[in-house]
Structure 1
């Protein structure tokens, strides 16, 4: 007999109890996973929760770099990811060996390296401090004034941070494939359908799209914006999974997925690789686990802890 959604949920909850596990889920996960998670949030919130947990097992429903961050902060815990292949175009845009070679070739500049959290543990190990979209402005403002900044890997987020801080930075030319698919044309078209709507966009979007937004902010800050917006219609320009949480948090609003030129909403296929069945299986088998060399983990931990301390 086929497993029903109710049976699957009960299996996951039972396994979570048996394994003394916590389930962490990113805002871009499918709704069923968000609903069963112990905590749903953005990269910064998830990093805090990973640091705080006293469970034996962390089931991280997100993409690989997020689960890796949890492992960096919890070396003695078992960290599992439902789908080992849930990657990230931003992470892939900045291989650690390429960054190491660039820093070596430009060592006379003595870069202060700031990395967006959407990068590998190997890249984190080469950096001075990590940022998320929610805290990047504050942390860049705290960077040493006497050193040039290299911001990796997202050029769009870096450009937005420069606009907000006035701080010159050299930008690694990486991008999130999901957010760059939103265009000026696609947002203008949806605004024609909802002329009274406000637009909230993620800073990983291009400059042309950010200029059309009434607010540019992290996914977590989108919740407050949508709750407090003086209008009913809000166009949300980020990965479509965010609307599941927003609809729960702001039920009185008409939340409209930001479209691309190709489709009415925008999914990250990496985020959507995690399923309830894979979550059940990773708790059952405690695999796939996230591991890394201890030397890399220790070096990567320092800039993450620096971020968490500077974000309090």
Structure 2
């Protein structure tokens, strides 16, 4: 019987994103409160002589199958680092829109690394695996953790936080892909201070205290993303008008935006309303992972 391993690749959402500096090599320094949802992609790996990838799901057409694919890059990097002689058949069920600012490719790569380690029965310290992930993409270390965290620097500084209060999220994407380098290039030069997030570290906050902390921050890339894709502003406005919406913001470099809700019923009602407003948009309601 062929051995097969499955991993869930949860959608990553930046509740805020502060650009706090820029290194000499051009990489920006960030400070972000990151959460993950119960919605995402699925990775399945099984025994094979060579590495291969096939894709299913509603967004399979947007996934390259050549060497540019981050899943294959991650698999080959792990194979090379550990001198693994066998391969793997990798299957990706692609439910997260491409280039959407919710870490789809990074989550897929992180899930692939974890699945292959189980398939190949290998052990590696978390820090070493994160270092490998960081060479492939800034979001991969936090996606390897796949739980609420503060992400700083260029993605290497990850700090776990206390469990979150129950919250539900509506994700909305207008079908527009935004290039992260283009959005950073278009942003104003001003830098933000690192946020004081100490209240998140020791205990679970009440929902209102948590929201107050989130509302005190912002996403420094929103204006640039909206200038490149004006529909971002429209999406934010539509979400904000939904009943019981507690907070609305863009995630990452866009174009996906989100609203926070106290219960899944309110998030589902908002999802239906958004899809009635524009049937061409993508929307998904899901709990935030605790």
TM-score over 0.5 for the alignment?
no
Higher normalized helix content (fraction of residues): 1
Task: Give the TM-score of the pair, scaled to structure 1.
Answer: 0.28
Higher strand share: 2
TM-score by length of 2: 0.30
